[in-house]
Amino acid sequence: HKFDAISAKDYYCLFGILASTRQHQAIIDDDAVKHTGVARLAALKADIANALADLWADDIAASAQAVSAQLAGKPATAPTDAAGSRANDRIAALLARKQVPLEDPLSAIWKAWTTADAASGESAFGPAFAAAVAALRTEAAARADRNAAGFRMLADFTLSSAGWHSSGALPDTLHSAAGDIAIAASGDAVIDRFIAPGLCSDRLSRKHGAVVRSDDFPLGTKFISLHVAGGDAAHVRLIQHNFQQMENVAHGSKVRHFEARFPTWVTIPVGHQATWQGGRSYLEILTKDDVAHFRRSEDGGKFFTIARTDRTGRSWFAVDRVVAHDGPKPPEDELPLPLLMDVGPAEIAATAETIAARWANVCTAAVSGWHAGQATTVQTDLLNWLLVNGLLRNDPRELGDWIPLLVNEYRQIEEGIPKFRRAAAVASEGPGFDAAVQNRGQPAQPGEIAPRQYLEVLGRPASQPADQPARLILAAGIASADNPLTARVMVNRVWSWLFGRGIVATVDNFGATGEQPSHPELLDSLAARFVEQGWSIKQLIREIVSTQAYQSSSVPPPGAAEIDPANRLLTHMPLQRLRAETVRDCLLAVSGQLDRSLEGYGGPADLGGGGGPPNRRRGVYQYIKREAQDHMMVMFDAPEAARTVGARESTNVPGQALLLLNNPFVHAQAQAWAERSIASTQGLSLDRRLSRLFCEALGRDPEPAEADALMAFVESQADAYKLDDASLATDQRLWADVCHVLFNAKEFLYVR
């Protein structure tokens, strides 16, 4: 509120505070709402996991027997029960594939089996398997060397949160150190997937939105890749120089949405090297409802549409690693899954029996490790492979009677979790950033460091707490009772709103270039009482409107206009035009259409784009769309929605009169008012009806000349519509014209 020059150091003190602040969507529901059903969901998931572990032990045994039978060429020896038959069919189909990627757990077995089968049967299987494993080890070592040389680990979440900050519904539960399961919220599967060690937002429900953010770090590579899973419009953003509005060409590529049930690499290009290298950046991964600024153009608007239309609040992500690199491709898979099937030392022959035994040991260890809360990332990947390929039962119809009951209860409770309410907010996480003074504004010429603190030009205290966030120090300084500027500015704004002009006319400028107060002692007195009364705006308004100055007439006393033409001394109440929202409210109130209900969401003016009911609530509840503001609001000087305005303009231009003459909304209110008047004034004389309409519109009885003019207008319209005396009292057209004329009276727009 000062246009005065401030020192460069003060400027960068403030810049450091703002640059250390991040936008976010804060959940405003209390803990009871955020923890809806959490305890019961956790208990049910544990019961489901215990029951599944017992069944899956049988599935592993059946699959091991099927592996042995298939490799030995004796599928007829496989078990004849349902589990054994299913496992035999699955293994047979997996080995019958025409191509198997190296990363597949069966790749070495498949390679050896297909080679040996075509040559000399089981006797050739051992050497073929050994050769396949040797080739895998060579390839894995080469990939590991390339990964070690080409990638730098930025964060590894498998053991901890790696110093990243988390927020959301249940931020303390995001880290899973030893694997977990996600229960499917619907469908014919009990679990959606096994959760690898790392950070995960949907351990209990996809309604538990979350955000994880890194500290600031300097960019030093051309690309950053994240190993993530997720869906429902979740995404990752690379924020550079704290620029969080990402809807443009330069930054659009730094936002990546992902739809992946299992972890996959997502790569973000850093950008122009000369521009961004060494710059402050941070990464954030978010569920859709926690995004402060959602990009509309991504993938043809697909994800924006999901975010706009979804009413369930479901969205999720999981992440386990983040790496930096200069090449365009992400890290390569180092083939841990197929190497799990290596039977061991060379002296152990690779036969159907030894391979089956190795299979059973590896898969049993994975299930046991998961059940004991000790599963590794590789074991989790193996379990997901088994799940996807039908080697672990997951259909409720195959799991007996008890597990489906538990799953149904789980899903009912999960469905009852509400969509959390959020509000735009800011947060200061991590150590923050102290900006260097840029000499002559040149970033390449950093000078002394300007610590984040309250501004010296506004009266910085001699000492400030070292353990408090800089943003809190700034806020405390602004709201301090010892800071006269805040109270004066607020009191002056309220005064300006009530009187049309502030005690200091330049409400946005209290500096040396602003106007001097007309009543400085009054301003200080009101400001002091404002602070004493707990900064109560309601009490301040009550005090001001109780004064003689506010309650005085807008008619100037004799001689006042010559002595004080600007009315700085308040000899009379300034004449004020109604503000834009009030013009609309008055039209609705006079017509009898105003909806006086309080609180809640206002909604668009016409819900459903033409098919819904019109919104007749007060102006403070109106839906404002920045790209398409209401024409009436703009014409009557409502400010742009994207900026704050201390004192609104109050213009008197021809466009306002034209709007009242031609606007469909004004015509609709005239019609409604006329209809109400016809119904409520039956039996009254014509002059009484006109006086009543006049009083409803302007708050006073008409002067004789005004009454005569109205009567003449009625007679003129009656002639135009060819009305007789009997139909004159009930003709909707005539009385709508009368109401429309009264709406267009200049006095209707002003407070006297």
pLDDT band (50, 70, 90) for residue 248: low
Instruction: State residue 610's pLDDT score.
Output: 41
| CATH 2.60.120 domain position(s) in the chain | 153-325
Given a cut of 80, is residue 206 above it in pLDDT?
yes
Average pLDDT over residues 668-676: 92
Identity of residue 479 = A
Residue 467: phi and psi, rounded to 5, are -95, 5
Against a cut of 0.75, is the pTM above it?
A: yes
Minimal CA–CA distance to 274: which of 219, 337, 216, 350? 219
Instruction: State residue 752's pLDDT score.
Output: 78
Given a cut of 70, is residue 461 above it in pLDDT?
no
Instruction: State residue 603's pLDDT score.
Output: 65
Give yes or no for a contact between 102 and 111, defined as CB atoms under 8 angstroms apart. no
Give the best-scoring range by mean pLDDT among 30-39, 452-461, 503-512. Answer: 30-39
pLDDT band (50, 70, 90) for residue 102: very high
Whole-number mean pLDDT of the chain?
87
Instruction: State residue 607's pLDDT score.
Output: 42
Query: Count of residues for the chain?
Result: 752
Instruction: State residue 74's pLDDT score.
Output: 65
Given a cut of 60, is residue 219 above it in pLDDT?
yes
Instruction: State residue 604's pLDDT score.
Output: 62
Instruction: State residue 346's pLDDT score.
Output: 60
Given a cut of 70, is residue 287 above it in pLDDT?
yes
b/e code 640-659 from CB counts within 10 Å (16+ = b) = eeeeeebbbeeeeeeebeeb
More confident residue, 32 or 278: 32
Instruction: State residue 475's pLDDT score.
Output: 86
What architecture (CATH level 2) is domain 153-325? Sandwich (2.60)
Instruction: State residue 612's pLDDT score.
Output: 45
Could you report the per-residue pLDDT of 404-420, keeping only the tens digit for each?
A: 999 999 999 999 999 99
DSSP bridge pairs for 617: 595
pLDDT band (50, 70, 90) for residue 273: low
**Residue 255 CB burial class (10 angstroms; 0-12, 13-18, ≥19):** buried
Could you report the per-residue pLDDT of 566-619, keeping only the tens digit for each?
A: 888 888 888 888 888 899 999 999 999 888 888 776 666 544 344 445 678 888
| 159 contact partners, CB below 8 Å, separation of at least 6 | 177, 197
pLDDT band (50, 70, 90) for residue 469: confident
Identity of residue 561 = A
- C-alpha distance across the termini of the chain, in Å: 31
